[in-house]
Amino acid sequence: MNSSNNLKSGQNALTMQVLILAVVIVIIACIGLFIQKSSTSTIFNKSFKNYQRSTALLKDINSVTTNIYKIKNMVASGQDSQEIKKVSDQQLQTMAKDVDIVKQALESDLADEQKKFYQAISDNMTAYQQATQQVIRLAPQGTGAAYLSVSDEKREAITQLLTQLLEYESGVGEEAYNSSGTIFYIVVAVLIILLGACAVLIPSFIKKMVAASVVEPLEETSGVLREYASGKYSRSLTWEADDAIGDLVQSVNALRSKMSASPAPAQKAAEPAAAPAEEKGKSLSDMVKKTPEPAKDGTKAASPAKKAIDKLQDI
C-alpha cells in the first residue's frame, strides 16, 4: 500500500487543484474587468470628453457670431452703452476662453488626425478672434463691416472643421464602444468555458482522489483479509499515515499477529477403551447380589460386598 496517497494528501491535492482553477478564473475575471475599465476610460476621456469639447467650441462660435449681430442692432437702436459694453466683454471673454481650449487640446494626448483638425481650428480661431475684436470695437461707431466679413468667413471655416472633427470623434467613440463590447463577450465566454471545465474537472479530481486514497487501500485490505480467512498469514499491511485507513491497517495487522500466534486446534481426545463384552451386561446389583461358589480347595470365598467394592475401584 502506498501511504503517500493517504486521505490528507489526497485532500490537500484536491484542494490545491480546485484552488488553481479558482485562481485562474479570478485572474481572467480581473483581466476582463481591467480591460473594461480601460475601455470605459478611453471612451470617456478620449471620445466623450473630446466630443464634448468640440461641441462646446462649436456652440461658443455660433453664440459669439449671433451676439456680434446683436451688438450691431443694439448700437443701431441706441440702447444703453453700458449694456452694449457688457455684452461685448462677454464675447471677448468667450473667444479668449475658446482660444485657450484649442491650445490645451493641441498640447494634450491626441490622435494625429485630431491634431490636424485642432491645428487648422487654432489658425482660423486666431484670425476669427482678431476680426471679431475689431468688429466689437468699431460697432459703436457704426463701422467695421470689412472685419465682419472676415469674421464670418473664419467662423464658417471653424464651424466646418468642428463638424468634421465631431464626426471623426463620434466614429472613434463608437469604435471604442464596439471594441469594449467585444472584449466583454470574450471574457464572458472564457469564464463560461472555465466554469464548464470546473464542472468536469472537479468531479474527476474527486474520483481520482477517492480511488487512490480510499478505494485502492480498501481493496488491498480486503484481499489480505481473504488470505487470512484461508489460513495464510504471510502478508501484512503498511500504512504510515495517521487517518482512518491507518486505523484499519493497524487493526488488520493486530488480527494477523493474534491469529498467527494461536496454536492449531487439538484433535479430539481418543474415546475411552470399551469395557469387556462380558462385563457390559453386568449391573452393580448383579455383582453384589450374586452368591459366589465355594472354592474347590476348601478356602473361604471373599464376601460379595468386598468383591463389589474392588470391582468399582477397578472401574
Separation of CA 258 from chain center:
52
pLDDT at 294 over 70: no
User: Which three cell numbers mark 117?
Assistant: 483638425
Average of per-residue pLDDT across 46-50: 82
| Percent of residues, the chain, with pLDDT higher than 90 | 23
Cα(312)–Cα(305) distance, rounded to whole angstroms? 11
Is 40 exposed, middle or buried (CB count within 10 Å of its CB: 0-12, 13-18, 19+)? middle
Band of pLDDT at residue 3, cut at 50, 70 and 90: low
CA distance 151 to 163: 18
307 pLDDT band, cuts 50/70/90, is low
- Please give the average per-residue pLDDT across 86-106, as a whole number: 92
SS3 label, residue 232:
coil
Rounded-to-integer distance, Cα 21 and Cα 26, Å: 9
pLDDT, averaged across the chain: 80
DSSP string, 113-141: HHHHHHHHHHHHHHHHHHHHHHHHHHGGG
- Count Cβ atoms within 10 A of the Cβ of residue 302 and give its class: 0-12 exposed, 13-18 middle, 19 or more buried: exposed
Q: How many CB atoms lie within 10 A of CB 116?
A: 14
Percentage of residues of the chain with pLDDT beyond 70 = 81
DSSP classification of residue 21: H
Q: Is it the case that residue 290 has pLDDT exceeding 50? A: no
Report the pLDDT averaged over residues 161-175.
88
Predicted confidence (pLDDT) per residue in 127-164, tens digit: 999 999 998 888 888 787 888 889 999 999 999 999 99
Among the residue ranges 15-19, 55-59, 212-216, 288-292, the one predicted with the least confidence is: 288-292
Residue 117 pLDDT exceeds 70: yes
pTM: 0.57
Segment 212-224 shows an average pLDDT of 85
- CATH superfamily placement of domain 3-208: Aspartate receptor, ligand-binding domain (1.20.120.30)
pLDDT at 170: 86
- The per-residue pLDDT for 156 is 93
pLDDT at 100: 93
Report, as an integer, the average pLDDT of 170-179.
82
* Structural domain boundaries in the chain: 3-208, 211-256
- pLDDT value for 102: 93
Q: What is the pLDDT of residue 57?
A: 93
The pLDDT tens digits of the residues spanning 182-202 come to 888 888 898 899 889 888 888
Q: Does residue 13 surpass a pLDDT of 90?
A: no
At 270 the pLDDT is 41
| pLDDT tier for residue 80 given thresholds of 50, 70 and 90 | confident
Stretch among 67-76, 241-250, 272-281 having the lowest mean pLDDT: 272-281
* Residue 107 clears pLDDT 70, i.e. is over it: yes
Does residue 232 have a pLDDT over 50? yes
Quick one: pLDDT at residue 33? 84
End-to-end Cα, the chain, rounded Å:
63
Residue 177, H or E segment: helix 145-210
